Amino acid sequence: MEVGFIGLGAMGILMARNLCTAGHSVTIYNRTRSKAETLVEHGAKVADTPADACKGEVVITLLSDDAAIEDMVFGSGGVLNALQPNTVHVCMSTISAALGERLAAAHAAAGRGYVSAPVFGRPDAAAAAKLTIVAAGKAAAIAQCQPVFDALGQKTFVLGEEPVKANITKIGGNFLIASVIESLSEVFALVRKYDIEPQTYLDLLTSTLFSAPVYKNYGSIIVEERFEPAGFKLPLGLKDVRLALAAGDATNTPLPIASLVRDHLVSAMAQGYEDLDWSVVSRIVAQNAGLE
């Protein structure tokens, strides 16, 4: 397939490379052109403008936040105006429910295909093409994108024809991960106070009650304090918890745990940890317990 890819962050560069490896014809646009050029040896073509990446069957945008997506899609020379009649725009970013609804409405009004398809997985999963993809949009549009999803992930969950459902699913999932990080941080602080070895405690937890990857992966990062290089930087985690709170506010859904996690993430930002993995919030919890 002819695929456009816009945005080469920590995840995007790995995903675009996997599309090349899978045999797709990939045209890449990135604001920092030199980053896109690193994929030329894998068969990618480098676009001079975002519009140049919107001429195939699918164009993916994977940018950091609402502002970046709004500028790329609705700005002068942006994606929406450049889409060809048979091109499906796939937004794989974690964005607000409000922007998700706006994007769906704008594409529908323009008569262009649109699918929301954020992903679950850290860079190691992206590199191994083992992401979990959450897709929502018109059935025909998702079917057109499926070969691309197959090259990027191990499973695609289809949530229906309203793209915002994928956005909320992603926001909810990231909030749950943040809650796991918070609870792990608290329990490690507690067991340390009783001179219980955190690694031993983690081994017990993850081999019995909590064997899910999120506990194993983040538990190990916290115990070993492997906060860099960041798999998911602190400001992005804070953004996603704020997205959960905004979605809760919009629907009168209280999220008291999200408020607590947000405050700890803000404290971590105040300590200058913005370049570290968001699990560095465990340091804040430890400091509050007098352990740091």
Which tokens belong to 17?
């490379």
How far, in Å, CA of 226 to CA of 76, rounded?
A: 41
Catalytic residue check, 45: no
How far, in Å, CA of 116 to CA of 262, rounded?
A: 25
How far, in Å, CA of 12 to CA of 50, rounded?
A: 15
In a structure prediction context, what are the per-residue pLDDT tens digits for the chain, which is 292 residues long? 999 999 999 999 999 999 999 999 999 999 999 999 999 999 999 999 999 999 999 999 999 999 999 999 998 889 999 999 999 999 999 999 999 999 999 999 999 999 999 999 999 999 999 999 999 999 999 999 999 999 999 999 999 999 999 999 999 999 999 999 999 999 999 999 999 999 999 999 999 999 999 999 999 999 999 999 999 999 999 999 999 999 999 999 999 999 999 999 999 999 999 999 999 999 999 999 999 7
CATH 1.10.1040.10, applies to 168-288: yes
How far, in Å, CA of 140 to CA of 42, rounded?
A: 30
CA distances from residue 184 to 16, 66, 192 in whole angstroms, order as listed: 33, 29, 12
Q: List, in sequence order, every residue forming a beta bridge with 115; answer none if it has no partner.
A: 90, 137
Catalytic residue among 138, 170, 233, 239: 170
The DSSP H or E segment spanning 135 is strand 131-137
The Cβ of residue 48 has, within 10 Å, a number of other Cβ atoms equal to 9
Cis peptide before 229 (omega within 30 of 0): yes
Architecture of the structural domain at 2-161: 3-Layer(aba) Sandwich (3.40)
* Domain ranges across the chain: 2-161, 168-288
The radius of gyration of the chain's CA atoms, rounded to the nearest angstrom, is 20
Sign of CA dihedral 89, 94, 99, 105: positive
How far, in Å, CA of 187 to CA of 207, rounded?
A: 16
Residue of 223, 232, 134 lying closest to 178 (CA atoms): 232
Residue with tokens 């996690």: 261
How far, in Å, CA of 168 to CA of 164, rounded?
A: 6
